Amino acid sequence: MFSTCVFFFLLSVTILHADSSLFLTTEFIVFLLLAVLIEHIYIPNKKVTLSLNFALVFAALMIIGFYPAMWISILSITFYKLIFANFEITRAIFNGAMFGTMAYIAGSTYIAFGGSTGSLVLLELVPVIAYILVSILVNHIIATWYICGVIKKADYTLTDVLYNFGWDLLTYVVSLPIGLLMVFLYSHIDILGIIIMVITLAVNSYIFRLYKKLELFHKELHSLQKTSINLIESMELDDVLKSITESCETLFETKRCAIWMYQNERLELTLIDGSSPEKNHFLNEGEGIVGKAVQSKSPILVENIFSQEWQEDSLIEGVYQEQPSAIAVPLTFYNQVIGAISLSRDGISDTLEREELSQLIDIFSAQAASALSNALHHQQIENQAITDEKTNLYNYRSFYSQLDDKMKKHPEQPLTILMIDIDDFKQYNDRFGHPAGDKVLAQVANLLKENIRENDIAARYGGEEFTIILCGTRGVEAEKVAERIRSAIANYPFPGDQKTPRVKLTVSIGVGEYPKDGDNAIDIIRKADQALYLGSKERGKNRFSKFIKTTSYDNIVDFPKGVDNNDSGRGCD
């Protein structure tokens, strides 16, 4: 709306006050073409880009006049942003309107201070200084309004404003003598002198631009080398994810980095800014910017996530903040997607152009994907070493190691061991077969996990035996857990055959407490095992029994199924 109003206003005042014949002159057409060329051959410099467009527009002001110079500025900027910079049409028009507003107000100020236009008279210093300062001031007022008011960039500070103001001032001061030289050449050898000068400037600017681009790219490659070393330093998944986050911040100057893991055609948010997300967040392939990148197996660079094209996708993804630009990178290893990265930036082309940035992303994503794949493989091998294959619970070795470790590191913290055995499991295997038995083991494991806390530890002890470490739990609370597990398994319909599609299975449980029943892992396991076999198994199965140590002898207290655990717990203590 702002851009349209500005264009109509400037067009109206031009029709009312300008000599239309000036827009048909060779000078106007040549200046317009040269302005597009010189805007295209800008010089990148870290956070800003340096352009000599001002010199050409100022020379046009002196040679052709106020209104032609203003429209040379508008049209050259709009055309360049739309065609060469691949801006959306609304954003390209906004840039043209901004420079048009600047040219109109600065030119009016120049005339108000007595400056001459459309003639080759000797310049006066005061109008020129006023023209430069007003140009910079209007430019920054509009730019700051757009950054803070429209795209709402929260971290755009006064320091950023002063930094950009200083570079613009330097650009204008350097451009002014060049503009004056253009006027001088025009007065002696006509428009050909300006053409020769602009082409010379363009060639030199292009060479310098190449130098700056190579310098920047060399720095990025040097950072990439360090990144590669950091990524292969560790095989631990957490360390690799952290290195990827830190590398993105260094290489791409990101304000936010989110890492997604990919499995079963779905993305899971795993890490955001180096920390675990507050809640689970999943995306299907094709959802959000990162989902589309995964679907295409190609990075997606978005200049403005607030645009109509990308706003809905960025909101679905939910990881971007106030920064207007985003980069979504799939991590593929041997053409298989294993994860993705979402990056939030101030702008796509702040330091490198899109082509160079895309090359850098391709190199980095290949390294990150390789490191991530190695870490996942390493984690899988580690899990296999500590995990039972049939039940996906911890195996005996891991269970014993964790139990011993907890007792040694936290000797003051109580815990309870549950030894669990499936009753008459051999008969079930003999009747329904071992494949069915394996399914029972897996389902029992699931029921165990469903009925304990996350910090408790469930393991397959061997055969049809399981064990659980209830951390920080004892007495009545441990008995409640034992009864809950017994009841859940007794009431679950396990698979059978055609004659008996649903089979009832039960478990017997033995309970041993640390430090009440022993001061080491072996002793506690033995006491819980005694409670299981001398108590629950001997006294009818489908129940839990607790080992009780007294001053003169050891005793095993039996808790039949359906017992009131609160009463029985008090009776045992």
pLDDT in tens, 403-443: 988 888 888 899 999 999 999 999 999 999 999 999 999 99
User: What domains, with CATH codes, occur in the chain?
Assistant: 2-216 (1.10.1760.20), 236-380 (3.30.450.40), 396-572 (3.30.70.270)
Pairwise CA distance, residues 241 & 257, whole Å: 11
Q: Is 412 helix (H, G, I), strand (E, B) or coil?
A: coil
Give all strands of the β-sheet with 457-462 in edge-to-edge order.
Answer: 457-462, 465-471, 415-422, 507-514, 544-549, 554-559
What does the pLDDT read at residue 565?
Answer: 40
Pairwise CA distance, residues 31 & 61, whole Å: 11
Helix 125-145 × helix 89-112 angle, to 10°: 150
Pairwise CA distance, residues 513 & 249, whole Å: 49
Query: Could you report the per-residue pLDDT of 56-77, keeping only the tens digit for each?
Result: 999 999 899 999 999 999 999 9
What does the pLDDT read at residue 341?
Answer: 94
What does the pLDDT read at residue 198?
Answer: 85
Pairwise CA distance, residues 139 & 162, whole Å: 13
Q: Which residue(s) pair with 48 in the sheet?
A: 45
What does the pLDDT read at residue 224?
Answer: 76
Kindly state the tokens that stand for 539: 């006294």
What does the pLDDT read at residue 496?
Answer: 83
Pairwise CA distance, residues 331 & 22, whole Å: 56
Cβ pair 52, 181 in contact under 8 A: no
What does the pLDDT read at residue 261?
Answer: 92
Amino acid at 46: K
| 500: exposed, middle or buried (Cβ count in 10 Å: 0-12, 13-18, 19+) | exposed
Amino acid at 496: G
Which H helix or E strand runs over 507?
strand 507-514
What does the pLDDT read at residue 122?
Answer: 54
Strand 507-514 vs strand 544-549: parallel, antiparallel, or unpaired? Answer: parallel
Helix 2-17 × helix 66-83 angle, to 10°: 150
Ranges in the chain, pLDDT < 50: 350-351, 550-553, 563-573
